Structures are given as C-alpha cells and as structure tokens.
C-alpha cells in the first residue's frame, strides 16, 4: 500500500493524534462536485463529519455556501464561517427550539431551516417563534422529514405526504421548503442493489413533489441521502445531495461503496506503550480515541501494519495480536484508519493538518464537537 500517510515531523507530537491531509480533502471535495456535474445548487454537504470552521472556509473557496448539520453548535459554526443557507437536519423539541430561535436572531443574514415530522411539533416551533419575537417578517423554514425505511425519524413516505404538507401550510409562522430523506439503512456493497432499494421511495417522493408543485409549491426542494446513496441521488437532477463522510472517507465506506473513488484523508496515529506478552503489544488508542460502537474488528484497521489484529479494548488502551516478522518496540508509532470517522473525529479537540511535504504544519479546532459554542 502506498505510504501517503507518513509524517516526517511526527516525533514532535504526542499521541493519539487525529491527522487530516488537506490535499486529499480538496481532492474529495472536487470529486464530490464532479458527481453533481459541478452544479452547486445540487450540493449541500453535511458537516457532522468534520465539525471544523477551517473546513467550512475550504468549502467557501469552492463556492459552497449551503450545508446540512445536526446540532445547534454545528449551525452556529457554519454561520460564523461563511455558510449562508444552513439546514439543521434534526427536528428541534423542547428547549432546542428556543436555542434555534436565538440562532436565527443572532445571524439575520443567514437562512436557517429545520426538519419536522409531525404537526404537533411543527405547531410548537411556530408558537415558540412567535413568543421569542423572531426576526421581523421571517417565517421559520421547515422541511418535512420522511421515513423511507430506516425507522429512525420521519413521516412515513408511503402515507399521504401531500395531505400532511397541506396541513403544515396552514400553520402560521412556518414556511414549507421541501422534503428531506436520509436512508442510512441502505449500505449494500453493490451500487445497483443500493439504487434498486432507494428507487421505490424516491419515485414516491418525486410523485408527491410533482403534485405539490402543481398545488403552488413552485420552489419545493428535495434534499436526499448521505454518502451511501450519493451515487444514486447524484443522477437525479431535482435532488440536492447531502453527503458528509466523503471529506475524510473511512474504512467502512471504503469497503461498502467501491464505486466512489474518494481517498482516505484522515488517520489515527498511536504509539506502542507496552509489550506485555509474546505476540502481544498495546497502543494508546482506547475508547476515548477511536469510535467504539462497532465490534472490535470494525473500529480501526492498520493497513500499513497488516500483521496487527485488535483483540482487546478499554478506555486508554488497545491491545493487538502480532503475527509476523516485524520487531515492534515500545515507542513505535503506528498509523491506522478509523472504521467510522465521524464519531472518531469528535473525540479530539483538534486535528493536526499535514501539508504537501508530509509535515504537520498547523492544527484545526474541532469546534462543533462541543454541545454549545455560544448559543
């Protein structure tokens, strides 16, 4: 495997490290834009993977100013870093509605929107907006979140979507923007199978959208998918695509989505801290440094050290079985690829950024890993 990961000044840094390769990030952005034929109106990247202001500034350099996010902190970070059309792909409930109102009033030059999937919550959002005294003449923009089979959130796509939207339209203080889909349950390795699974729900969505457009919703938008169904939705001209993981890519998608030629752009660097028994070594990559929601074999891989296999994991330690001729020593640095990069990134306060000369030259604060920035 090509040794693109090597860092020449790594001895100046402690581990574990979350490291980003800026040239690879830019390559991935350019690849993503190429999939939508360079049409910026069809591209709304999700920022939950990186949560960094510097990444948003790179987006701006490519003319990208609309994004999707999941938290109020991510939305605030976006507003602070040049994004002007910010979708909070989450249905706010309880006090989160008040935080969203504060966000809208704090950044009047930005357009914010959120998701809803039931009329009761939609009415609560409208009521809180009126009570909060939101920006004059500015309705709260909402998208209808649709459940296409993931069964996480959303109004069932098979039900009467048009009737729901008509009822939503009657709620004073809200402005219906369009339909939202996230189908993270579709992750078959064969892109044809993924497309076949996504198509029936999308056909229903497109039919509903056509009916709504005929009923007067001329500017209706459809925001659909993540990285897993990006290749399918990028071929539908009326859809805004919203991948997130593409910026860093990870081992999971590298295996599951072979048709997308994104490059891994983030690695985890750890150190050997102990050789407790023959054929066993331990590195400083515990639960607190790599996402651990998957089984142990699907947390981190070591493609440049394929003689290492994870066998034990705890808060500050990862124990590895060693079968091979390599003579590992305490203090050796080892590069790994996270299996799920998004929550792994969120475990670090900052990312170290590598330049074209294989040196760490700066760091980027992973600011929106915080639950709150100021709002």
User: Is residue 228 included in any domain, yes or no?
Assistant: yes
Is the model's pLDDT at 50 over the cut of 90? yes
- Count of CB atoms within 10 A of residue 62's CB? 15
For the entire predicted model, the pTM comes to 0.96
CATH number of the structural domain spanning residue 222: 3.20.20.10
pLDDT for position 139: 87
Q: What is the pLDDT of residues 8-48, one digit of tens each?
A: 999 999 999 999 999 999 999 999 999 999 999 999 999 99
Q: In the prediction, which pLDDT does 143 show?
A: 98
Residue 255 lies in a domain: no
Does residue 132 surpass a pLDDT of 80? no
pLDDT score of 24? 98
Q: Are residues 231 and 315 in the same domain?
A: no
Residue 1 lies in a domain: no
Q: For residue 134, what is the DSSP state? A: P
Supply the CATH number for residue 272's domain.
2.40.37.20
Answer whether 310's CB lies under 8 Å from 318's CB.
yes
Measured CA distances, 295 to 109, 228, 311 (Å): 45, 20, 10
Do 283 and 246 share a domain, yes or no?
Answer: no
Q: So what's the pLDDT on residue 131? A: 84
- Sequence-ordered list of residues with C-beta below 8 angstroms from that of 97, at least 6 positions apart, any chain: 124, 125, 128, 129
Domains: count for the chain: 2
In a domain, 353, yes or no: yes
Residue-level pLDDT at 258 = 86
What single string gives the DSSP state of each residue in 250-281? -HHHHHH-TT--PPP-EEEEEEEEEEEETTEE
Same domain, 152 and 287: no
- 215 and 294 part of one domain: no
Helix 161-169 with 119-132: angle, nearest 10 deg: 20
Domain membership of residue 3 (yes or no) is: no
pLDDT confidence band for 137 (50 / 70 / 90): low
**What local confidence, expressed as pLDDT, does residue 208 receive?**
98
Q: What is the pLDDT of residues 78-118, one digit of tens each?
A: 999 999 999 999 999 999 999 999 999 999 999 999 999 99
Range 178-193 average pLDDT: 96
Q: Average the pLDDT over 161-169 and give the result.
A: 98
The region, left, alpha or beta by phi > 0 then psi within -120 to 50, assigned to residue 216 is left
- Mean pLDDT value across residues 322-347: 96
- Per-residue pLDDT tens over the stretch 138-156: 689 999 999 999 999 999 9
Which domain, by its residues, includes 310? 10-17+262-369
CA distances (Å), origin 375, targets 61, 84, 100, 139: 27, 18, 8, 20
pLDDT tens by residue, 212-229: 999 999 999 999 999 999
């Amino acid at each position: 495997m090509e040794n693109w990961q090597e860092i020449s000044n790594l001895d100046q840094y402690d581990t574990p490290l979350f490291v980003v390769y800026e040239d690879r990030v830019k390559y991935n952005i350019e690849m993503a834009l190429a999939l939508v034929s360079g049409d910026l109106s069809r591209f709304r990247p999700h920022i939950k993977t990186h949560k960094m202001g510097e990444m948003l500034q790179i987006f701006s350099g490519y003319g990208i100013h609309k994004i999707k996010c999941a938290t109020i902190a991510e939305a605030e970070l976006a507003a602070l870093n040049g994004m002007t059309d910010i979708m909070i792909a989450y249905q706010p409930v309880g006090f989160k509605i008040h935080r969203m109102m504060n966000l809208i009033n704090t950044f009047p030059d930005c357009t914010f929107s959120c998701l809803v999937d039931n009329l009761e919550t939609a009415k609560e959002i409208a009521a809180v907006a009126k009570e909060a005294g939101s920006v004059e003449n500015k309705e709260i923009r909402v998208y209808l979140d649709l459940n296409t089979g993931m069964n996480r959130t959303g109004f069932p796509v098979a039900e009467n979507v048009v009737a729901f939207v008509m009822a939503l339209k009657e709620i004073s203080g809200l402005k219906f923007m369009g339909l939202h889909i996230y189908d993270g349950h579709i992750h078959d390795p064969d892109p044809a199978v993924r497309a076949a699974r996504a198509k029936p729900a999308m056909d229903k969505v497109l039919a509903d959208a056509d009916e709504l457009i005929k009923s007067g919703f001329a500017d209706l938008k459809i925001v659909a998918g993540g990285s897993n169904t990006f290749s399918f939705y990028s071929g539908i001209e009326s859809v805004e695509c919203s991948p997130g993981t593409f910026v860093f890519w990870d081992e999971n998608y590298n295996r599951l989505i072979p048709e997308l030629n994104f490059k891994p752009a983030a690695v985890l660097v750890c150190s050997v801290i102990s050789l407790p028994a023959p054929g066993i070594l331990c590195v400083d990559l515990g639960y607190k440094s790599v996402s651990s929601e998957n089984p142990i074999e699907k947390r981190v891989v070591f493609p440049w050290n394929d003689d290492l296999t994870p066998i034990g994991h705890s808060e500050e330690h990862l124990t590895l079985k060693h079968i091979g001729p390599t003579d590992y020593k305490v203090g050796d640095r080892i590069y790994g690829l996270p299996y799920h990069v998004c929550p792994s990134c969120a475990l670090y306060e900052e990312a170290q950024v590598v330049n074209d000369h294989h040196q760490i030259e700066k760091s980027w604060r992973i600011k929106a890993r915080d639950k709150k920035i100021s709002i």
